[in-house]
Amino acid sequence: MRQTVADVARRILILGSTGSIGVQALDVVGRSEDLEVVGLSADRSWEALAAQAHAAGVTRVALSDPEAIERAPAAFDGEVLAGPEGLVELILDSGADLVLNAIVGSAGLGPSVATLGEGIDLALANKESLVVGGDLVMQLAEATGARVIPVDSEHSALHQLLAGEAPGTVDKLVLTASGGPFRGRTRDELADVTIAEALNHPTWAMGGKITIDSATLMNKGLEVIEAHHLFGVPYDRLDVVVHPQSIVHSYVQLCDGSSLAHLGYPDMRVPIAYALHHPERVELPVRALDLAELGALTFEPVDEETFPALGLARAAGRSGGTAPCVLNAANEVAVHAFLGGRIGFLAIADVIAGTLDRLPGGPVRAFDTLYDADRDARAIAAVLVDEAA
């Protein structure tokens, strides 16, 4: 039941609108008169972007890929902004109340910074923004008063669970992980897995990069770093438990022995709607949870030997500085190489570990430090990919 209705529609800018999160966000927006889309962006899928803009009545879009930028004006009457600068222009000039950043990878950092720097609230699906630049990004939000509202399902769950708790009462945050398609396998059994097997996630349908991150468990590693920054919680108070059904989206342990959990069928429209409408809640066509029908929910510890990526991410998070940025860049290069059929599944973690060995973290003085570390890490990871290919 809706409690209040906004007088004026909230103006939303959706970055990465042609992706998995972006498309679901447009579904959420289409169900509400309180939300109005004022701009959209994509990397290269200009035809899909033009169709979305037409359907949503949007007159300004941004594209990143040079070839797409050339071709798009033929399909779109409105203004097409180009490249990273065009994306920033879209953010600054759109008059948005809220920017949903659903770009994949470290390319999302600049748009997050532009949004928060302008004092605009950020609905953040792009976890890489916080992995790469968490300290600076959260400082920027603090300085301008803009809010960061998580879209990642675990962090949305934690945001909701922590809303009513006084500081000092929370002992631990526990992120749940589905375990991905290779849960229960040994390391030897992972040597020859195919791209199609790795892309076959048991509970969530997502973009390619995050699906591979889920198969290696790097996704959970990135999420631990994301939670550290979002909630200001040290790493020894962040745990992970494998929960194959993806019904419990995370839980918090409190000082009096209580634990509070967030449950629901896996559907990203729930955390997306929570972020877009926050602090209100709206109705969604999502099935009510039937625990009797489910019968049992199971939990198990992470097999960190078979899935070393989680440990690599934790270690990089604890080191701080540029280490998480290096980890993320190496992961992006390695996942791209795996999806291109150039390296095997186990080589993904090897490339990341090798890059971190060769490029130990240093202090972050400014965003430029991060862009340099990202570039250096990509160069080293590319060499390691060639060696592993």
Q: List Cβ neighbours of 111 (8 Å cut-off, separation of 6 or more).
A: 15, 87, 88, 91, 99, 101, 103, 126
For Mg ion, which is the closer residue by CB, 58 or 103?
103
Q: How far is the CB of 247 from ligand NAD (least distance, A)?
A: 16
Residue nearest to ligand NAD (CB): 19
For ligand NAD, which is the closer residue by CB, 134 or 354?
134
For ligand NAD, which is the closer residue by CB, 17 or 216?
17
Partner interacting with residue 220 (select from ligand NAD, Mg ion, none; CB below 5-8 Å by kind): none
Which pairs count as long-range contacts for 165-172, CB under 8 Å and 24+ apart, including other chains? 165/252, 165/254, 168/255, 169/254, 169/255, 169/256, 170/233, 170/237, 170/252, 170/253, 170/254, 170/255, 171/237, 171/253, 171/254, 171/255, 172/237, 172/238, 172/239, 172/252, 172/253
For Mg ion, which is the closer residue by CB, 153 or 328?
153
Partner interacting with residue 22 (select from ligand NAD, Mg ion, none; CB below 5-8 Å by kind): ligand NAD
Partner interacting with residue 29 (select from Mg ion, ligand NAD, none; CB below 5-8 Å by kind): none
Q: How far is the CB of 53 from ligand NAD (least distance, A)?
A: 13
Query: Which residue in 356, 333, 352, 337 sits closest to 105, CA to CA?
Result: 333
C-alpha–C-alpha distance, residues 158 and 227, integer Å: 9
Q: What is the CA radius of gyration of the chain?
A: 20
Q: How far is the CB of 352 from Mg ion (least distance, A)?
A: 19
Partner interacting with residue 45 (select from Mg ion, ligand NAD, none; CB below 5-8 Å by kind): ligand NAD
Partner interacting with residue 18 (select from ligand NAD, Mg ion, none; CB below 5-8 Å by kind): ligand NAD
For ligand NAD, which is the closer residue by CB, 112 or 322?
112
Q: How far does Cα 313 stand from its chain's mean position?
A: 15
Q: Which stretch binds Mg ion (CB under 5 A): 52-60, 146-154, 258-266, 300-308?
A: 146-154
Structure tokens at 56: 């949503």
Partner interacting with residue 126 (select from ligand NAD, Mg ion, none; CB below 5-8 Å by kind): ligand NAD
Q: Give the helix/strand (H/E) hosting 29.
A: helix 20-30
CB-based contact 226:155 (threshold 8 Å): yes
CB-based contact 40:17 (threshold 8 Å): yes
CB-based contact 146:122 (threshold 8 Å): yes
For Mg ion, which is the closer residue by CB, 28 or 227?
227
Interface residues with ligand NAD (CB under 6 A)? 16-22, 42-43, 45, 64, 102-105, 107, 125-128, 152, 204, 206-207, 209-210, 268
Tell me how long the chain is.
389
C-alpha–C-alpha distance, residues 75 and 146, integer Å: 35
Structure tokens at 134: 């968490």
Count CA atoms closer than 13 A to 301's CA, side-chain side.
Answer: 4
> Ramachandran region of residue 46, left (φ > 0), alpha (ψ -120 to 50) or beta?
alpha
Q: Does 152 bind Mg ion (CB under 5 A)?
A: yes
Q: Does 121 bind Mg ion (CB under 5 A)?
A: no
Q: How far is the CB of 212 from ligand NAD (least distance, A)?
A: 11
Q: Give the helix/strand (H/E) hosting 176.
A: strand 170-177
Partner interacting with residue 206 (select from ligand NAD, Mg ion, none; CB below 5-8 Å by kind): ligand NAD
For Mg ion, which is the closer residue by CB, 128 or 154?
154
**Cα distances (angstroms) measured from residue 212 to each of 155, 196, 199, 204, 341:** 20, 10, 6, 12, 13
Partner interacting with residue 176 (select from ligand NAD, Mg ion, none; CB below 5-8 Å by kind): none
For Mg ion, which is the closer residue by CB, 38 or 252?
252
For Mg ion, which is the closer residue by CB, 124 or 370?
124
Q: How far is the CB of 83 from ligand NAD (least distance, A)?
A: 9
Q: How far is the CB of 125 from ligand NAD (least distance, A)?
A: 3
**Cα distances (angstroms) measured from residue 314 to each of 32, 173, 235:** 39, 15, 8
Q: How far is the CB of 108 from ligand NAD (least distance, A)?
A: 6
**Bridge partners, residue 148, by sequence:** 122
Q: Which stretch binds Mg ion (CB under 5 A): 97-105, 145-153, 273-281, 340-348?
A: 145-153
**How many residues touch Mg ion (CB under 5 A)?**
3
Residues engaged in binding Mg ion (CB under 5 A): 152-154
